[in-house]
Amino acid sequence: MLVGLMVSAIVFMVACGGFGGEPAEDQADGGNGEGNGGQEEGPDLSSPPEIEGDVVSEGEESTIRFGIGLAESSPQYISVEYFRDILEERTDGRISVDIFPNSQVGDDNEMMDGLQSGTLEMTYPSTSPAATIVPELAVFDLPFLFPSRESAYEVLDSEIGQEMLDSFEGTGIKALYFTENGYRQLTNSQTEIQGPDDVGGLRVRVMENEVQLSIWNALGANPTPMAFGEVFSAMEQGVVDGQENPWSTILTSNFAEVQQYGAETRHVYTPFMIMISQGFWDGLSPEDQEIVQEAAEQSGDYERMISEEYDEYSKEQLAEQGMEISELDEQQLAEFQDATEPVYDEWAPRIGEDLVQDIQDMVDEVEGQ
């Protein structure tokens, strides 16, 4: 009900010019809480592929309200625009898509609640909050699980990944596809990070996620769970010393204004998930379901591609803005891995030791180990 009221309020405000083009401050995790990082010109991203596939003109008309956590400059938003274009072209305009960025209709958990209650049709959360519904997704919070994007994609697109998507059956949510939030990096206002010892004692904001708490406890930090919308002000006021997110989020959230140091720790690779309300999905014809599924996969693949492009651009921009970024070598990263090994001892039995081992075996095969 809450999400439905928020959607109505947003529609009213947009119609009245109430947002005035200003970004919202409260974001889902991985969002862009403080705007677009002051960038007047964005990165030179790849264009989306040409839209292909049969057009189904006959059928019911409907509108999809699609809520996301990130801002209009993000790869996530750009890919949802592509999803909208695919859907509208392939249904001859019968199915339209209204995009609500900047967590305008709630954070990740609230938007997933909206899918279950039928007050929102689609959303695009990280796997971390989605693990409250499908606990096995917590495997993606384990540290240093994926050495490369290639091994991450191999797992996400495998039978293991499909089984996780299928695990939402009966929850009121249908999970359509995995895309990319990205590698999480550490920033702080206190000290240059060259190894785990430098993390000791830092007050680090973390997601409201138990595996993440275990990671930073293992590193000797003082982890502070906090909603993303509170992070900038908490760092500005000295409540916390630092945080961890992908470079693109760090840039578009203006964190360089309150964070002097960055370290390319790549400690966790976080996927996004494209989700749709099960009730809405069930009301679609089989032909429209096929189009929606294909649009999710095509736009998701596009998001993965431009996410990597945006990541490199973001790191460069942060350095230009004055953030001192440490690019850790293999030995330094190995020290972080060794320090966080107890997280596996604690969580593998709870997540599922067979699942963790199967993923590690697949990763080793891709990486040639």
**Which domains are assigned to the chain?**
61-181+270-318 (3.40.190.170), 185-268+320-367 (3.40.190.170)
Sheet with 173-183, edge to edge strand ranges: 95-100, 62-67, 122-123, 269-277, 173-183
Query: How does the average pLDDT of the chain come out, rounded?
Result: 89
Q: What is the per-residue pLDDT across 80-124, written as a single tens digit (0 to 9) for each?
A: 999 999 999 999 999 999 999 988 999 899 999 999 999 999 999
pLDDT value of position 13: 35
Instruction: State the sign of the Cα–Cα–Cα–Cα dihedral 152, 158, 160, 161.
Output: positive
Q: What is the per-residue pLDDT across 31-43, written as a single tens digit (0 to 9) for each?
A: 333 333 344 467 8
Burial of 62 by CB count in 10 Å (0-12 exposed, 13-18 middle, 19+ buried)? middle
**Structure-token pair, residue 170:** 């009966």
Q: Where is 187: in which H helix or E strand? A: strand 185-188
pLDDT band per the 50, 70, 90 thresholds, residue 148: very high
Sheet with 261-263, edge to edge strand ranges: 222-225, 203-206, 242-245, 185-188, 261-263, 324-326
**How many CB atoms lie under 10 A from the CB of residue 316?**
14
Q: What is the per-residue pLDDT across 219-260, written as a single tens digit (0 to 9) for each?
A: 999 999 988 878 999 999 999 999 999 999 899 889 999 999
Whether residue 99 contacts residue 105, with contact meaning beta carbons closer than 8 Å, is answered with no
pLDDT value of position 228: 81
Q: Percentage of the chain surpassing pLDDT 70?
A: 89
Is residue 6's pLDDT more than 60? Answer: no
Tokens 């920033």 appear where? 187
- The amino acid at residue 75 is P
Residue 359, φ and ψ in degrees, nearest 5:
-70, -45
Q: What is the per-residue pLDDT across 166-187, written as a single tens digit (0 to 9) for each?
A: 999 999 999 999 999 999 999 9
